[in-house]
């Protein structure tokens, strides 16, 4: 995983039930090819996205998180996607303070008709994360799990 030539990013993608999940569905039924690195999780709305989900994904080994929803003004629940957008902005700033590259989280709007756009956004995000390299928060040699196992001498060696 640490070798960039063989590095396959793990991406967690959050989709909303009404637009972006259907875009992903459309991409599938249209046989549109896109990177298989994304693991999609369907929420009822991007406004349901608790920032905890994003932090947990990154802490447990995801290299990037993609948040998707209906276009502004088209939210099934009126304006929750705006809330998701505001959270996204604040999350990026908070993660930056923790040393996580802001580009590791991405916000994408996709309507139910935009299967091709959805596929394109996934593929380009995967390439962006591939360029950034592994985050390795949970599993890598600098991650928690390794640190918990290592003795203090090893940690400072």
Stretch that binds another protein, among 32-40, 62-70, 95-103, 120-128 (CB under 8 A): 95-103
- Our finding on whether 149 is near another protein (CB under 8 A) is no
Residue from 44, 78, 90, 113 that binds another protein (CB under 8 A)?
Answer: 90
The order of strands in the sheet holding 64-69 is: 38-43, 11-16, 64-69, 105-109
Spatial CB neighbours of 45, under 8 Å, sequence gap ≥ 6: 16, 17, 18, 69, 75, 76, 77, 80, 81, 84
Task: Choose between 15 and 80: whose C-beta lies nearer to another protein.
Answer: 80
Helices (H), 13-60: 20-29, 51-59
Task: Choose between 34 and 88: whose C-beta lies nearer to another protein.
Answer: 88
- Our finding on whether 54 is near another protein (CB under 8 A) is yes
The distance of closest approach from Cβ of residue 118 to another protein in the complex, given in angstroms and rounded to an integer, is 20
- Our finding on whether 41 is near another protein (CB under 8 A) is no
């Amino acid at each position: 995983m640490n070798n960039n030539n063989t590095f396959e990013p793990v991406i967690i993608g959050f989709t909303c039930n009404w637009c972006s999940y259907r875009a992903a569905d459309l991409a599938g039924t249209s046989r549109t090819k896109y990177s298989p690195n994304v693991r999609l999780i369907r929420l009822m709305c991007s406004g349901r996205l608790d920032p905890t989900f994003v932090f947990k994904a990154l802490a447990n080994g995801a290299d990037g998180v993609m948040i998707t929803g209906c276009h502004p003004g088209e939210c099934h629940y009126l304006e929750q996607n705006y809330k998701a957008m505001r959270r996204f902005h604040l999350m990026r700033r908070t993660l930056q303070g923790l040393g996580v590259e802001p580009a590791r989280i991405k916000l994408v709007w996709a309507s139910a008709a935009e299967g091709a756009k959805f596929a394109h956004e996934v593929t380009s995000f995967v390439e962006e994360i591939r360029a950034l390299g592994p985050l390795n928060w949970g599993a890598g040699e600098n991650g928690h799990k390794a640190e918990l196992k290592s003795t203090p001498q090893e940690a400072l060696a």
